[in-house]
Amino acid sequence: MAAHSSPAKLRWELVIVLALSFGASGVYAVVSIIERLTRETALASQTATINRPLAERPLFDLIYQLLGFAFGLAPVALVVFLLWRERRPHLAALGLGRAGDGTRRRWWPREVAGGFALAALIGIPGLGFYLFAKWIGINTTVVPTALDAFWWTVPVLVLQALKAALGEELIVVAYFFDRMRRLGVGPVATIVSSALLRGSYHLYQGFGGFIGNVVMGLVFGWVYQRWGRSLPLIVAHWILDIVSFAGYPLALALWPALFAA
């Protein structure tokens, strides 16, 4: 959308994009946590499964998983379309492409390394907080994957992790920050709003998932506000989800008392 678009159009655009993506997920998650809290079973005794089989037959399960990955990137394609620039770097408004410092130095190795560092900063304390939240009874047992073991299971989980990383960091951070800035919202309010949105669509996991993701959102939002680069966020998120999704069966086998449903 052009830079001269009216504030009213920008607000409606933002509402529509979120309604097609994580805003809708947040609403469903709020309903989900209310439904969970009104069950007779305690929240800590419930499970929340992230990646589950979509068909009984493995071939059709694979097809549905790949379709879910492809169509799940449609909102990402939408924000790329909306923020695409005619001149290079085309995705500068989303914090991607060559840094605008006038040099031709390779920018991506440093940003990838930053993503690994950010993943370590978030992942290690995050795992501890998840176990603590489960122990005090404010979170469900999160099952990252319930997929059976096929040759395609790990590649599909890697793709699902990529879908989550691209979607959340390009929509909830990069796109959201751009539109809030154009609407005249200050950086602090934008960071907090983005973090609360990130936490909202994780409420289906319990209050631990909400708090943990709000903290993650505050850190990621500050990093983006400070440097304006989204690749480190995408890399960090992708790593965290790959470890969570693909590493869950191993963690379950080694520490069943901590991770079993």
For residue 48, what are the β-bridge partners? 142
Asked if residues 173 and 233 have their Cβ atoms less than 8 Å apart, the reply is yes
The mean pLDDT of 217-228, rounded to a whole number, is 98
The mean pLDDT of 149-174, rounded to a whole number, is 98
**Residue corresponding to tokens 């969970």:** 36
Alpha-carbon dihedral sign for residues 20, 25, 30, 36: positive
For residue 42, what are the β-bridge partners? none
Domain total in the chain: 1
Question: Residue 121 sits in which domain range?
Answer: 7-96+105-259
Asked if residues 180 and 190 have their Cβ atoms less than 8 Å apart, the reply is yes
Residue 105 has pLDDT above 90, yes or no: no
Helices 231-254, 108-135: crossing angle, 10 deg rounding: 40
Per-residue confidence (pLDDT) for residue 229, from 0 to 100: 97
Query: CB under 8 Å to 9, separation ≥6 — which residues?
Result: 1
Per-residue confidence (pLDDT) for residue 260, from 0 to 100: 83
Per-residue confidence (pLDDT) for residue 254, from 0 to 100: 87
Query: CB under 8 Å to 117, separation ≥6 — which residues?
Result: none
1 assigned to some structural domain: no
More confident residue, 96 or 258: 96
Asked if residues 254 and 134 have their Cβ atoms less than 8 Å apart, the reply is no
198 assigned to some structural domain: yes
Q: Report CA dihedral (142, 137, 172, 5) to the nearest 10 degrees.
A: 140
Q: Global pTM?
A: 0.94
77 assigned to some structural domain: yes
The mean pLDDT of 95-100, rounded to a whole number, is 80
More confident residue, 4 or 244: 244
Confidence band for 258, pLDDT divided at 50, 70 and 90:
confident
Residue type at 168 in one-letter notation: E
The mean pLDDT of 98-102, rounded to a whole number, is 61
32 assigned to some structural domain: yes
Q: How many residues appear in the chain?
A: 261
The mean pLDDT of 198-209, rounded to a whole number, is 98
Asked if residues 161 and 72 have their Cβ atoms less than 8 Å apart, the reply is no
Per-residue confidence (pLDDT) for residue 98, from 0 to 100: 78
149 assigned to some structural domain: yes
134 assigned to some structural domain: yes
Per-residue confidence (pLDDT) for residue 99, from 0 to 100: 67
pLDDT tens for each residue of 71-89: 999 999 999 999 999 998 8
Mean pLDDT of the chain: 94
The mean pLDDT of 240-256, rounded to a whole number, is 93
Alpha-carbon dihedral sign for residues 55, 76, 21, 166: positive
Within a 13 Å sphere around the CA of 72, how many CA atoms are in the beta-carbon half?
18
Per-residue confidence (pLDDT) for residue 100, from 0 to 100: 58
Per-residue confidence (pLDDT) for residue 5, from 0 to 100: 79
Asked if residues 167 and 75 have their Cβ atoms less than 8 Å apart, the reply is yes
3-state secondary structure of 144: strand
Percent of the chain exceeding pLDDT 70 equals: 96
Alpha-helix residue ranges (DSSP H) falling in the chain: 7-19, 22-37, 58-72, 74-83, 108-135, 153-167, 176-182, 187-200, 207-227, 231-254, 256-259
pLDDT tens for each residue of 2-59: 556 799 999 999 999 999 999 999 999 999 999 999 999 999 999 999 999 999 999 9
Confidence band for 235, pLDDT divided at 50, 70 and 90:
very high
Query: CB under 8 Å to 113, separation ≥6 — which residues?
Result: none
Structure tokens given for 112: 């990838």
2 assigned to some structural domain: no
**Residue corresponding to tokens 């890399």:** 235
146 assigned to some structural domain: yes
